[in-house]
Structure 1
Amino acid sequence: METGSLHNALKPLSFLIGKWTSINGKGSYPTIQPFEFGTDLEFSFIGQPMLNYKWISWHPTKRTPMHQESGFLRIKPGTCELALLVAHNFGITTLEMGTVEGKSIALYCDKSQINRIPFAKEPHVTGLKRTITYDEDTQQLEMLISMATTNTPDLTHHLAMTFKKL
């Protein structure tokens, strides 16, 4: 939902704005079997110096929902500093801090920036690293996510997605 003109602070993030769908999504982690998934992703604005963020992933053949995230990507005006505040449907919130450089975003959070509901399933997430890169030649967006948990304490590759704009 775009309302009004783009806030000047958002110009470095303008390449994200719109609806995206995954061309492919692959997941793996030391404690689970590799899997594939589809994802719909949206970055929108309402005139403030932030983007609204929505992610819905689904099973590639059954089309049943798998994971949802919703939040806000905020840029500190006049800088390349970012904060992505996300609520995940499995019972955690994350405050991912990072930067935008050109068409590439790097975000990170550790356990001090992760909150969870008391009955969230284990193992608990203790760290996340998210990179988002736009390739101007292919006009595709790539997102990579690494995760640490109480069972796997080091950041370990978890998800890779490539998106095309709708």
Structure 2
Amino acid sequence: MKVRGTRRIYEGRVVNLRVDDMEFQAGKHGDIEIVEHGGGVAIIAQPAADSIILVRQFRPSTGRRLWEIPAGKLERGEEPAACAGRELQEETGYRAAVLQKLWSFYTAPGFCSELLHLFQAQGLSRGEPSPDEHEDITVEIFKVAEAWALVERDELPDAKSQIALAWLRGNAAVAAGAIGRP
């Protein structure tokens, strides 16, 4: 496969949309729509080993208020760790003494370039949140088991948050000896 040409059909504040003219096997070609996104961060913030901070906010794309871990988009030229610290403070009021990057993953690689960087926040100190003017955020601390129960009841349908909670549960199971280390 190769790209024969590209045209941008929309430029926005958060995303751009381009159409790539692709050449496939046997000389066939077709258009592929790509959402260009500058990337973002998500933060696992735990005030205690068995708890996690979740935020609830209205997500227009779903028409619902969703529980999720704190997250946000990278500003142009911003380093992911700086973005993680900024978003954690803005959305929750908490500051982290240490932000450890866990890994990065594409959110929907079939059509979107968004690369999300997942961090674990350690050494939390509480302050006042300073959300953006368009954000109406509720902050709550959940026991990890309570947060996972939200997933099981389809009340936490956010993939990045489900990944974070599964990681926490897996680590707890390893620590308890319920499963072996990889």
TM-score above 0.5, yes or no: no
Q: Which has the higher strand share?
A: 1
Q: Which has the higher helix share?
A: 2
Larger radius of gyration: 2
- What's the TM-score once normalised by structure 1's chain length? 0.27
- What's the TM-score once normalised by structure 2's chain length? 0.25
